[in-house]
Amino acid sequence: MAENINIQDIKGIIRRRRKGFLFTFLAVFVAAVVVAFVLPPVYLSQSTILIEEQQIPDEYVKSTITSYVEERLQGITQRIMSRTRLLEIMNQFNLYPEMRDRYTTEDILDKMRNDIKLETISADVIDRRTGRPGTATIAFSLSYQGKNPGTTQKVANVLTSLYLEENLKAREQRASNTTEFLEKEQKNIKTRIDTLESNLSRFKIAHAGELPENNALNTQAVTRMERDLDQLNTQLRSLQERKIYLKGQLAVVEPFEKLEEKEDPELQKRMYLEKKRLELIALKTSLSEKHPDIKRLKKEIQELEAEVGADGDSEVRARSIAALENELAEKKGRLGPKHPDVVSLSKKLTAVKKNSDTRGDKQSEKARQRKVPDNPAYINLMTQVATTDMELKSLMEEERGLKERLRAYQERLEKAPAVEQEYLNLISNRDTAKAMYNDISTKLMEARVSQGMEEAQQGERFTITDPAQLPEKPFKPNRLAIILIGFVLGLGAGVGVGAIGESLDGSVKSGAELRRVMDVPLFSVIPLMETERERRIRWMKRAFWCVLVLVIIGVGLILVNAYVMPLDILWIKIQRRLMMMNPTMAGAGYRFLVTG
């Protein structure tokens, strides 16, 4: 439409579309009323549970349950909402009988889970762990909704009891699990300590004397043995010098008593002959047979043998060999074993002894009788030499034993660093295990005290502050709200249907529309002329609609009084709402209540 709609046009639209509007409005409104009163009532029973803190201060008993209450609530909810628990409650109170023939068990359980509501109640508190302000859960509400008020209350109480029982059971179980775990750990650590102690004992036995605590003793022993060894060396050197001195004395003492030349001049010749023979033997070690000195000695020996005989005398030879030995011992002690004179004399003595052993001379009876040295001075010196040798042998044995012991102690000191490292590792492992054992023992004692506190219900617990009550009125549906929504929707639907019908109607409804369509002059407009019968029918229709509206209002008030609340209470609530909206009406409302 190109022109603006005026009041007359609106009145014409209402007159033409009032039937469609009324039909649509009544249809939607009646449908909303039917739905509001056909829906079965649902009752809600709710209990409030307070979360009380630990009764004993944390300074005296520390709880082993450190999880937040929200976590425990979630765990308890999962256990209670399990299939087994819900089926027990469902069978106990015969819940949802109308659904059992048409729905599966899982669908019914899902419906029951939706009917159970848990809402936490929080407050602003100071967190003891961090000291910062925050929000903590101090209580929670547990509700159940159903069609039967008594059953609803019983189910809500059962659910509340289950939450209380599960909380106690969960706390006791967690405290018991903590205690059992710590007892098991204590036993394992005790076994480990015993093993480490056994290993340490075996290590001490295997490395006796090599442990770090023996280092000071070993060092003192090494120092003492080195000092004793120095003293032994000093004694050995003194005895060796004494032996050398005695050997030197032996070199100048004849082993046999001297015979007087007048008594035995022949012996003097034999001795001289033996001396020449020894000289010849000594010269042969360094000179050849053709040397003039050797030839000269051989000639002298032949002349002497012609006088006294070719046979040698062992007594004379023994005297000569003994003299050479004494001379060699004296020079060796004075000059040293590597001196040229000592080396030369040693070769000479060796050659003489070898030649003397291979000759096989015949001995005279007198010589055999005089074979053993008989000079007292010589025998005394030999006795002193033998005594010195025995002392030297004894001291050398003592030195050898002392060196072996010193070597053993030195090996202990050499092994000490490696042994000390391993020993300290064993000690460290044992001490660490003992520290862990002491720590676990302390924690176990605290856990046992905490377990006793939980068993005595002195820890954090749930307390019912508002038990589930028998619901006196339905929780839902909100019938008045449904009716009001139906009223608004009916108005909107009626207006929409009228607008759609008017927009789709192409008929001419006024003179202005006719002028626009025909484009011809319009002389006059004749209004609708009703007969008496038509006016009577119109008023009868109006009366019918008025009665119908009154009947609907009356039925609605009856239903509100029966299903929602008594009308007098509803009227009082409406007055209170109005007084809150306009305080000036309070006096008039009070007077109305008094007069009424």
Instruction: Tally Cβ neighbours within 10 Å of residue 514.
Output: 14
Based on the domain organization, do 354 and 490 belong to the same domain?
Answer: no
Question: 346-366 burial, b if ≥16 CB within 10 A, otherwise e?
Answer: eebbebbeeebeeeeeebeee
Based on the domain organization, do 261 and 169 belong to the same domain?
Answer: no
With contact defined as beta carbons under 8 Å apart, do 511 and 525 qualify?
Answer: yes
Based on the domain organization, do 23 and 85 belong to the same domain?
Answer: no
End position of a domain, from candidates 354, 374, 394: 374
Task: Give the mean pLDDT of the chain.
Answer: 75
What angle do helix axes 69-80 and 83-93 make, rounded to 10 degrees? 60
526-530: average pLDDT: 67
pLDDT of residue 155: 92
pLDDT of residue 17: 72
Q: What gap in Å lies between CA 37 and CA 153, rounded to an integer?
A: 24
Half-sphere exposure of 541 (CA within 13 A, CB side): 9
Based on the domain organization, do 47 and 24 belong to the same domain?
Answer: no
Based on the domain organization, do 25 and 92 belong to the same domain?
Answer: no
Place of tokens 């739905």: 35
What is the extent of the structural domain holding 263? Answer: 254-374
Based on the domain organization, do 14 and 69 belong to the same domain?
Answer: no
Q: Is the dihedral of CA 563, 568, 569, 574 positive or negative?
A: positive
Q: Is 71 contained in some domain? A: yes
Give the best-scoring range by mean pLDDT among 169-173, 231-235, 516-520: 231-235
Least confident interval from 201-215, 349-363, 550-564:
349-363
Specify the 3-state DSSP secondary structure of 525: coil
Based on the domain organization, do 293 and 165 belong to the same domain?
Answer: no
Report the Cα 565 to chain-centroid distance in Å.
65
Give the predicted TM-score (pTM) of the model.
Answer: 0.51
Q: What gap in Å lies between CA 51 and CA 56, rounded to an integer?
A: 15
Q: What gap in Å lies between CA 387 and CA 380, rounded to an integer?
A: 11
- By CB neighbour count within 10 A (0-12 exposed, 13-18 middle, 19+ buried), where does 448 fall? middle
With contact defined as beta carbons under 8 Å apart, do 495 and 23 qualify?
Answer: no
Based on the domain organization, do 578 and 495 belong to the same domain?
Answer: yes
Based on the domain organization, do 488 and 503 belong to the same domain?
Answer: yes
Based on the domain organization, do 76 and 173 belong to the same domain?
Answer: yes
Report the Cα 586 to chain-centroid distance in Å.
73
Beta strands in 42-89 (DSSP E): 43-52
End position of a domain, from candidates 419, 439, 466: 466
User: Strand order of the sheet with strand 133-146?
Assistant: 116-126, 133-146, 43-52, 461-466
Based on the domain organization, do 340 and 369 belong to the same domain?
Answer: yes
Q: Are strands 461-466 and 43-52 parallel, antiparallel or unpaired?
A: antiparallel
pLDDT in tens, 135-183: 777 788 889 998 888 899 999 999 999 888 888 887 777 778 888 888 8
Measured CA distances, 373 to 249, 329, 349 (Å):
15, 18, 19
End position of a domain, from candidates 342, 374, 406: 374
Least confident interval from 27-41, 272-286, 355-369:
355-369
Q: Is the dihedral of CA 255, 259, 264, 265 positive or negative?
A: positive
Question: What letter would DSSP give residue 56?
Answer: S
The total number of structural domains in the chain stands at 3
Q: Is 160 contained in some domain? A: yes
- By CB neighbour count within 10 A (0-12 exposed, 13-18 middle, 19+ buried), where does 530 fall? exposed
Q: What gap in Å lies between CA 15 and CA 502, rounded to an integer?
A: 11
Based on the domain organization, do 105 and 32 belong to the same domain?
Answer: no
With contact defined as beta carbons under 8 Å apart, do 52 and 463 qualify?
Answer: yes
Measured CA distances, 510 to 299, 497, 518, 525 (Å):
196, 22, 12, 9
Q: Is 407 contained in some domain? A: no
In 3D, which of 423, 523, 479 has the Cα closest to residue 205?
423
HEC states along 257-277?
A: CCCCCCCCHHHHHHHHHHHHH
Question: What pLDDT band is residue 369 in, cutting at 50, 70 and 90?
Answer: very low
